[in-house]
Chain A
Amino acid sequence: MSSKSKPLFSSSIGKKLIMSLTGLFLCTFLVIHLIGNLQLFKNDEGYAFNNYAHFMSQFAPIKVVSYLLYASIVIHAVYSLVLTIKNKAARPVGYNQKAGNENSKWNSRNMGILGTIILVFLATHMQHFWFQYKFGTTPYIEYNTEIVTGNRQTISSDVLPSNYDGYKIFVNDGVETIQTKDLYKQVAYTFQNPLIVLLYLVAMAALAFHLIHGFQSAFQTIGFNHKRYIGFIRSVGIWVFGVIIPIAFAAMPLYFFFKG
């Protein structure tokens, strides 16, 4: 045995380690993203959600994490392509008869297709909200809240006023005034389009099946497979990442679509 082995990331297991770690990082992001977005269900004309959106777009540590996140998405997609090309080359002549369902689950064999659906979704999702919020146009809202009573008046418009120059918060005569881009209404308007709602539902279904396999597969790849906790990992993968999270996300477009 030679002592000089190939570098870690040029090996099959090293590349899969990258898939595993980026995938698990993206899973943790989903949890945070969901918890934040649950504020969409608050019936407060987007007060909580819009303030949260502003906080997330300005807070420096979140910015750092967001770049890590974009990098993870790109690396996860690029490495999946590299690995898939190698996998295809490993079987140049295919089988005439296939009986994949006899020995494995459909989603475990089609992670690339499911991942591609998620990637296409991500691009449109970023365009709908992130791009419009940062560089495009959104509706505008001003919240005037009496600090003592909590009574709130709003002034809103479907376009940003020409003199709008960023998020502002100030207190005057016991009234808290917040002027902000109304991402909440942007969400509500976007989800009036049934095609967009359908895209989101398909994407969440793809995400569910991707993660039912992917979450436990990521642990297998880094060597975590132990009687004591493998059942817990599989349950979290199926119930948290395969059921609860995708359904909660899917509820958002449906909520706004039927709310009108």
Chain B
Amino acid sequence: MLKLGVFELTDCGGCALNILFLYEKLFDVVKFYEIKEFHMASSFKEHDHLDVAIVTGTVSTQRDLELLKHARSHSNYLIALGTCATHGSVQGGVEGKIREKLEKVYGTKANPMKALDSKPITEYVAVDYALPGCPYDKDEIYQVLMNIANGVEPPKKDYPVCIECKLNEYECVLVKKGIPCLGPITLGGCNAICVKSGLGCIGCRGPLPKDANPAGEFEILKELGYDEEYIRKKFKTFARGELRW
């Protein structure tokens, strides 16, 4: 039996909830894993050395940072789950220093919650596997956990959303409808679920890990008539400043 812990930092809670949405497949998971900590599922908690730790959310407070360090130092294999943990997501996209932001919202620079600038966990600790998505596809975490349980290093995806979009034969919304779609520069794995509904990809899984071409995408969207500020904001939504050129 492997020991598993799920740790939530600052996020909407969706990524932890998505694990529970595995429903009957959770029985497959508990055939291999003993759950030692999973706040959203159970109040049971046992401090122990973990084989696998799953961390969701951004580091946005001192408490988050301490919990993350605890998870890292007590686990062999750490999975950053969801775009908050891997890229910073929406919270990470807010610009400015934390004290200035506090003053703007609360009228005071006081920081009783010990808030930090929101950053993905990848900025603080080494991560064994990064699985982005806002939220990720629940089958992805299932495959990763089953692979680890069977002694297989889970394969890392390197293809953009376009690949799965074409495999499913969805009509290209960028080419055929002029809808701003970040699919060509966004990491796939979502099965192009937004394009399936006729929407453009909003880039929730972050940029391709290697060799994305945001400058090229920028030019394409500009030619379609979208203004530069709009495109810049679109690029920044989930990936902070990563889609820069």
Q: Do A and B bind each other?
A: no
Identify the A interface with B (CB < 8 A).
none
